[in-house]
Amino acid sequence: MAVRPRRRRARRALLILAVATALATVTALATSAVFAGGGTTPTRGPCDIYAAAGTPCVAAHSTTRALYAAYNGPLYQVRRASDGATTNISTLSAGGYANAAAQDSFCAGTYCTITEIYDQSGHGNNLTIGPAGGNGGADIGANAAALPVLADAHKVYGVYISPGMGYRDDHTSGLATGSQPQGAYMVTSGTNVNAGCCFDYGNAETNNDDNGNGHMDAVYFGTLCWFSPCAGPGPWVQADLENGLFSGGNGNNPNNKGNNSQFVTALVENNGTTTYAIKGGNADSGSLTTWYSGALPVASGYAPMHQEGAIILGVGGDNSNSSAGSFFEGVMTASYPTDATDNAVQANIVSVGYTNYTLPGNPFTIGSEISLRATTPCCTADYLTGDTSGDEVGITSVTSSSSPALKADATWIVEPGLVNSSCISFKSANGSGDYLRQFYSELYLEPQNGTAQFAPYATFCPRAGNSGSGYSFMPYNYGNEYIRHYNSVAYIASDGGSNAWDASSLWQDDTTWLVASPWG
């Protein structure tokens, strides 16, 4: 009598163990079948998927993760402003995520730019800061700290492109040339975009100039509607085939509805002789939508294509460099991937779980009131202050016995960024309703005038403080500058730039602010 219940209990325990083991195996398989990125047993990255399908990557760039399960090496190089030294930021493990902590420690107390993005494909197609071209002066490197995000819960950095920034490789190997087929995708963001030409990733001219129709084959993402009308406000994934951003067909395509998700997968594929396809989707969920698949444009030069085999990132083929955009990863194939392969790659990207990074302590609650205290030793009793009697902004000493008007001038209401709600805008709490905005590098207090120009100039993205504590504020449309006080006047300043207020001396302290209780 006593034996049977024990046996039953034992059998039930065994059953539970077996089910648990089976579930764990299924979970592990589902994870390992998809991941190259820091799980314990990564087995596939996007380039493993393309290789298994017979369409291997010939270029694989990412500042966030390995794109092959076996890749365990440098992802990108950063250079710090303080002494010009460089270091490589590598994966944490084979198939894993970027070691962002290494960047944070190397760049602590100074400003770093991304100087090179390494090709993981073995073809040596590394991207470096782009040279001048037919339509744009030499590019500058992206601020390495401008785009922190989480990938599979790891803090990593994307590439935050603002006008003037870009990367290129004019001497590649393995890339499609002439009318050879090509596929390319990038993971980008629907919230950091503009209508400047041209936030591209892909194949371009080797002489940095516009060599005519069909000399480019790149994925474009942004709000530049080249062949009007476009469907809705965008941003759209389009094909930059040179002298045009094609939504599909001969340029115009009402089916290309755009995608403004926080993270976006953007693909362009081209068989080089007759057809091309434009696809995209939310990089965090769901599948890809094919917005176009059909004939190449009829205008002369596009069928067959005349690809040259350079690689660009963040600029147009002739180095047009007035675009903004975000780049997390991208690959190119010298062949035309199947839909099934692209879908498997999309599933792999979704499994990364790209999400916004929240600053520690995140004190920027929408609607809250804050004061911003300077941290430079000279000025720790000073606060960022907008003036009711004029429109200038600077730092001023504020104490408990200051006038109510001054206290109000030194108090800011945190609002969603006027142009991008993942950043913030500062409205003065002095009753004027005015916003903090930049104008020719100086900061002013001005009423929101509703123009398209005002919103980006009044939007700031909080980042970890440049001096290692507090916060720094990057203007939305200038990814290499921060709010700084200089001779008590407020500017946006780069470290070591050409203006007096860009001086390197005290730059870290002057651009770092502590969030204090509101004075007003």
Task: Please list the active-site residues.
Answer: 242, 318
Q: Which is nearer to ligand AHR, 204 or 374 (CB)?
A: 204
Distance CA 507, CA 501 (A): 9
Site residue total, ligand AHR (CB under 6 A): 14
- Tell me how far, at minimum, the Cβ of 434 lies from ligand AHR, in Å: 38
Under the binding rule (CB under 6 A), the answer on residue 139 touching ligand AHR is no
**b/e 220-257 (16+ beta carbons within 10 angstroms → b):** bbbbbbbbeebbeebbbbbbbbbbbbbbbbebbbeebe
Under the binding rule (CB under 6 A), the answer on residue 417 touching ligand AHR is no
Q: Which is nearer to ligand AHR, 186 or 408 (CB)?
A: 186
Distance CA 374, CA 490 (A): 11
Under the binding rule (CB under 6 A), the answer on residue 316 touching ligand AHR is yes
Out of 139, 318, 329, 415, point to the residue binding ligand AHR (CB under 6 A).
318
What single string gives the DSSP state of each residue in 240-255? Answer: E-SS-EESSTTS--TT
**In three state form, how does the secondary structure of 340-394 look?**
HHHHHHHHHHHHHCCEECCCCCCCCCCCCEEEEEECCHHHCCEEEEECCCCCEEE
Q: Which is nearer to ligand AHR, 306 or 427 (CB)?
A: 306
Out of 223, 243, 428, 472, point to the residue binding ligand AHR (CB under 6 A).
243
Under the binding rule (CB under 6 A), the answer on residue 217 touching ligand AHR is no
Under the binding rule (CB under 6 A), the answer on residue 163 touching ligand AHR is no
Under the binding rule (CB under 6 A), the answer on residue 509 touching ligand AHR is no
Contact 205, 236 (CB under 8 A): no
Pairing verdict, β 435-439 and 442-446 = antiparallel
Under the binding rule (CB under 6 A), the answer on residue 320 touching ligand AHR is yes
Q: Is the dihedral of CA 456, 459, 461, 466 positive or negative?
A: positive
Under the binding rule (CB under 6 A), the answer on residue 197 touching ligand AHR is yes
Strand partners, 424: 416, 460
Under the binding rule (CB under 6 A), the answer on residue 42 touching ligand AHR is no
For residue 382, give both structure tokens.
């000073």
- Tell me how far, at minimum, the Cβ of 129 lies from ligand AHR, in Å: 18
Piece of 241-249, 259-267, 299-307, 352-360 that binds ligand AHR (CB under 6 A): 241-249
- Tell me how far, at minimum, the Cβ of 95 lies from ligand AHR, in Å: 34
**In three state form, how does the secondary structure of 278-330 look?**
EEEEECCCCCCEEEEEEECCCCCCCCCCCECCEEEECCCCCCCCCCCEEECEE
Out of 117, 245, 370, 515, point to the residue binding ligand AHR (CB under 6 A).
245
Under the binding rule (CB under 6 A), the answer on residue 213 touching ligand AHR is no
Distance CA 223, CA 342 (A): 24
- Strand, coil or helix: what is 239? strand
- Tell me how far, at minimum, the Cβ of 103 lies from ligand AHR, in Å: 30
Out of 103, 110, 125, 135, point to the residue binding ligand AHR (CB under 6 A).
135
Piece of 59-67, 238-246, 278-286, 322-330 that binds ligand AHR (CB under 6 A): 238-246
Site for ligand AHR, rule CB under 6 A:
135, 197-198, 210, 216, 240, 242-245, 316-318, 320
